[in-house]
């Protein structure tokens, strides 16, 4: 069997293509990583290469020692993943100290580098692994989320309420809300640490004027989280563009009714 016929590769490639078709990945924008299960690693191992050299992560993440991650490549385009997966994505092995990685499959095996946000992704994976069976970290550039970051105060309560009170599914899909960061230089340690700090409390973090990071247990749940946030942001932008006053919205009492009926735990700090 070709490695690309394995379910984990097909799911990963599908998410990349779904994001491209949504228009969230201009040029080489965005990145995706997935922490593989033991069974998935075993299935892929016959295709691994020993050519890759060990590269320092610049940070120690001991709870990720020995893990394997599917990752997009630096400078690679999401639109090309479905066309030439082995050139645009790869599998990275983390060493036994959680301090270095090497590419064992893909990325022109193994000459190319993982996404420039790889250390940032791994710091977020490290946080989410402690919280449960989180395996996916997805960063994209959804247009309406970015637009809202110019119009709303950059705090989690304001941003979350704008989304919760616009579309009924939002409090169900992300009951803890979304975190928000002011503009920061991408690709560096500072934004990686700030994002991973938000991931202690949320499954989504808005990067002002840039995009959003989402974490989830599966490809579908993670893409669904991103899609739900962006759709609510789109509706909010349509309301703002209409120039008309908003006559009604989802109230706090209705949010609490959703909490009760759907048996979720809303972040009550974001209620008025």
Is residue 227 within a helix (H) or strand (E), and if so which, with residue range? helix 219-242
Strands (E), 124-260: 136-140, 179-181, 204-207, 211-216
Q: What is the residue whose two structure tokens read 């105060």? A: 153
Strands (E), the chain: 31-35, 55-56, 68-72, 89-94, 100-106, 136-140, 179-181, 204-207, 211-216
Alpha helices in 45-164 (DSSP H): 85-88, 118-129, 143-151, 156-164
Q: Read off the DSSP letter of residue 100.
A: E
Point out the residues that are catalytic: 117
- Residues ≥6 apart with Cβ < 8 Å to 265: 175, 176, 259
């Amino acid at each position: 069997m070709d490695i690309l016929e394995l379910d984990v590769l097909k799911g990963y490639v599908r998410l990349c293509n779904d994001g491209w078709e949504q228009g969230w990945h201009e040029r080489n924008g965005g990145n995706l990583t997935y922490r593989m299960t033991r069974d998935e690693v075993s299935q892929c191992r016959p295709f691994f290469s020993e050519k890759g050299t060990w590269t320092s992560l610049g940070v120690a993440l001991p709870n990720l020692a020995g893990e394997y991650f599917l990752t997009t490549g630096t400078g690679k385009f999401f639109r090309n993943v479905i066309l030439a997966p082995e050139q645009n994505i790869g599998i990275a092995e983390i060493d036994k100290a959680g301090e270095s990685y090497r590419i064992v499959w893909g990325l022109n095996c193994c000459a190319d580098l993982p996404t420039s946000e790889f250390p940032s992704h791994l710091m977020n994976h490290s946080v989410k692994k402690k919280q449960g069976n989180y395996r996916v970290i997805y960063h994209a550039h959804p247009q309406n989320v970015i637009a809202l970051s110019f119009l709303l105060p950059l705090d989690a309560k304001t941003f979350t309420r704008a989304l919760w009170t616009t579309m009924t599914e939002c409090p169900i899909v992300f009951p803890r809300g979304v975190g928000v960061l002011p503009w920061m230089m991408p690709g560096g340690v500072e934004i990686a640490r700030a994002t991973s700090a938000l991931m202690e409390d949320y499954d989504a973090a808005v990067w002002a004027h840039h995009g959003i990071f989402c974490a989830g247990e599966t490809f579908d749940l993670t893409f669904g989280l991103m899609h739900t946030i962006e759709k609510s942001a789109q509706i909010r932008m349509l309301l703002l563009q209409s120039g008309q006053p908003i006559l009604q919205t989802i109230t706090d009492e209705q949010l609490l009714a959703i909490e009760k009926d759907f048996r979720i735990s809303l972040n009550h700090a974001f209620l008025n």
